[in-house]
Amino acid sequence: MKRNLFVMMCAVALVLGVCSCGGNQELTKMIPASAVKITGDDKDFFKLAGDSVKIILTNDRPNDDDTWEVKAIMPFSNTKSWAEVKEMRKKKPNWSGIYGISSCDYETKVNYYDENGSNVDLDSKVEGFDDLLKSEEITTGNVTVKHDNWGGIGSYERIKQNFDKVAGVKLEIKLSWGAHYDEEMPAASEDNSATSSDSDWDSILDEYEKYVDKYVAVYKKAMNGDMNALSESVSLAEQAEKLGDKLSKGQGSMTSAQMNRYTKIVTKMTNAMQ
């Protein structure tokens, strides 16, 4: 009789979609699509494909009760094919990207927020835009918001408090392009061309190294939790990238010494980011 009662209890738990991890229960709630706010330069390339979003309190490591996290499962679809996205890249030569990426990728910022519009304290990242971005057809797939570092997971009690607060999701979407796609770009105009006759490469290298040195110093502060440094590092990285793009396009006009110096500066920034 006791065995039958246990089997019945397990069946009820399955029907309710609740699992037990170390005595604590996985929980699920749905929030309306209207509670998902999408911003950013490239927000129009994607759209939410469903009426609601699933928010889950879960633990992928059932033997560790300090690794609970909040996940959001969101059905998204692309609004343009990969061919159309690349064509738009050709027509927008100043489209910014992140230094060092050798293909088109996406950069996202994501936050959960409560019913008052305040951020919920969960470190999160987004996964799942890749297949949508690179698809040659209009398709739908799940995009997942999950913890980004150890700050986004913790004990059941602590993470459940944040799970209970979650009432919406904010997403900022920005595509990132690297030098791999420069060959698809139209040639620079004469006024913007970087040639040895109209550019002082040593001066440009001086300026480039100055930005990189400052970026490396600020980046280290940002990695240690300085939020002011974090925003400053983004601005510096963009400035360094613009100079890097100009130098990259003018490599054929540099002397061997200038090329060696340029390579060392690039290596310095790459090592810092690693």
Which residues, in sequence order, are CB contacts of 109 under 8 Å at separation 6+?
Answer: 40, 170, 171, 172
Q: What is the pLDDT of residue 229?
A: 66
Q: What is the pLDDT of residue 176?
A: 66
Beta bridge partners of 173: 108
Token pair listed for 56: 């889950």
Q: Rounded distance, CA 168 to CA 81, Å?
A: 28
Q: Rounded distance, CA 170 to CA 37, Å?
A: 5
Q: What is the pLDDT of residue 167?
A: 97
Q: What is the pLDDT of residue 7?
A: 39
Residue 175: count other Cβ atoms within 10 Å of its Cβ.
21
Which residues, in sequence order, are CB contacts of 107 under 8 Å at separation 6+?
Answer: 98, 173, 174, 175, 176
Q: Which helix (H) or strand (E) holds 12?
A: helix 2-16
- The answer to whether 55 touches 30, Cβ cutoff 8 Å, is yes
Q: What string of pLDDT tens digits covers the 274 residues of the chain?
A: 444 433 344 443 433 344 445 578 999 999 999 999 999 888 888 999 999 999 999 998 878 888 999 999 999 999 999 888 877 766 554 444 333 333 456 678 899 999 999 999 898 988 888 888 888 899 999 999 999 877 789 999 999 999 999 999 999 988 766 543 444 333 333 444 444 433 577 778 888 788 778 877 777 777 777 777 666 767 777 777 777 777 776 666 778 778 778 888 878 777 776 6
Beta bridge partners of 105: 176
